[in-house]
């Protein structure tokens, strides 16, 4: 755990804030099930994605020069800026969940549940009468709107106060009805839930609730295609460390569950990375009672895709039981990562990575080069033998923000 200091009789966490989960490797402890993320399920999900227009595996970039500079064996970055030409990984989860929801709403037989079957003229007429709804910080909503357009159904999207015009426009260009609410992301989720129930719409959300687990689980399973691709591109070789950014936890939870299923007790050391003002997993872990806790307020961070204050219950059990480290990062960490990926050492490929995509590389740099972070880096056993897998989960989905950051200009918009 991070060092603690005592101020006016109260315990205060010093910067950086990190929690080392020493129980993650306790073989005797009862653990959350990861059976829904088996190799068999991953293969089925991959086949679905392969049936979609524009499917291509995204690149796995090896930053050899940077690895040598930082003193580790290998740094590998899965570049999701190319995913379905949408600029982010979210299409994997949203497409799988919306496809399953539509097929089930229409009571299609198992042999009819393919993307091609939904393109049948008779079926498309039925799909046209369906409305789906979701809440988003940007990328998830754009992915839902994209597949809704492909299928021919209507999409309604709610976004939190302060959402950028570029992200709003990116969703509207796929024909979705977009509304910005006077509240944060979690408020938008609750509003979407209420309207789905009231109107009989399909709720496509990645946060589970009582009696609403199937679709969030489908979202999480959709992300497994990314992990399958990555390990194929690595030749099946296991990295020593995996870092995963975390909002509601669906992506990081799916990644951790996949690693448990594939490698068991020999799995890589896994680190959950969150923005400091929306670090609901880190805050829940330090409370130490085994329960998820909500972070309230405006959740201010430039990492819009990670500005979530309420853990997904499906991900919480997995990350609580298996993840090795939880780290809460200030925005400056992702600025570092964006600039390093956008201006690589000579010989390394450039990766265009947005605010939520680059935080893990920024953190890795600080863990290896910033004395304030060295205790956490040492706890993770980062050294010259380490091979680190990272995921750049989005490209420049807000081009103006990306340009300002990489150019070193103000990130505040007029």
Q: Which residues are catalytic?
A: 90, 137
Please, how many CA atoms are within 13 Å of residue 97, restricted to the half-sphere of its CB? 35
With b meaning 16 or more CB within 10 Å and e meaning fewer, what string describes 210-225? eeeeebbbbbbbbbbb
Contact 317, 339 (CB under 8 A): no
CA-based radius of gyration for the chain: 20
For residues 19 and 282, what is the distance between their CA atoms, to the nearest angstrom? 7
334, 293 Cβ separation under 8 angstroms: no
């Amino acid at each position: 755990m991070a060092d603690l200091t005592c101020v006016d009789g109260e315990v205060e966490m010093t910067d950086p804030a990190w929690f080392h989960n020493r129980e993650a490797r306790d073989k005797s402890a009862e653990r959350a099930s990861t059976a829904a993320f088996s190799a068999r399920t991953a293969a089925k999900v991959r086949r679905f994605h392969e049936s979609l227009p524009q499917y291509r595996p995204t690149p796995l970039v090896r930053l050899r020069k940077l690895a040598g500079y930082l003193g580790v064996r290998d740094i590998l970055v899965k570049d999701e800026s190319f995913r379905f030409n949408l600029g982010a990984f979210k299409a994997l989860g949203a497409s799988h969940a919306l496809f399953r929801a539509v097929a089930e709403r229409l009571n299609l037989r198992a042999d009819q549940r393919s993307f091609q079957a939904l393109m049948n003229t008779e079926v498309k007429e039925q799909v046209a009468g369906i409305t789906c709804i979701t809440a988003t910080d940007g990328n998830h909503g754009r992915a839902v709107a994209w597949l809704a357009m492909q299928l021919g159904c209507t999409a309604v999207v709610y976004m939190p106060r302060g959402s950028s015009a570029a992200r709003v426009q990116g969703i509207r260009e796929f024909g979705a009805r977009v509304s910005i609410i006077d509240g944060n992301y979690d408020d938008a989720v609750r509003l979407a839930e209420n309207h789905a129930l009231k109107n009989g719409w399909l709720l496509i959300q990645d946060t589970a609730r009582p009696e609403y687990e199937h679709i969030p689980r489908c979202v999480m399973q959709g992300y497994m295609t990314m992990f399958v691709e990555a390990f194929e591109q690595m030749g099946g070789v296991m990295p020593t460390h995996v870092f995963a950014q975390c909002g509601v936890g669906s992506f990081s939870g799916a990644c951790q569950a996949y690693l448990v299923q594939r490698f068991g007790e020999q799995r890589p050391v896994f680190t959950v990375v969150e923005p400091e003002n929306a670090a609901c997993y880190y805050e829940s872990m330090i409370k130490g009672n085994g329960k998820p806790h909500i972070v309230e307020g405006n959740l201010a961070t430039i990492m819009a895709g990670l500005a979530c204050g309420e853990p997904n219950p499906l991900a919480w059990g997995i990350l609580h039981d298996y993840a090795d480290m939880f780290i809460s990062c200030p925005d400056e960490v992702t600025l570092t990562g964006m600039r390093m990926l956008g201006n690589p050492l000579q010989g390394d490929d450039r990766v265009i990575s947005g605010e939520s995509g680059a935080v893990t590389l920024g953190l890795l740099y600080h863990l290896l080069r910033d004395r304030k972070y060295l205790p956490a880096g040492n706890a993770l056993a980062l050294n010259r033998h380490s091979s680190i897998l990272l995921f750049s989960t989005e490209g420049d989905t807000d081009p103006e923000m990306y340009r300002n950051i990489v150019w070193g200009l103000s990130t505040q918009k007029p």
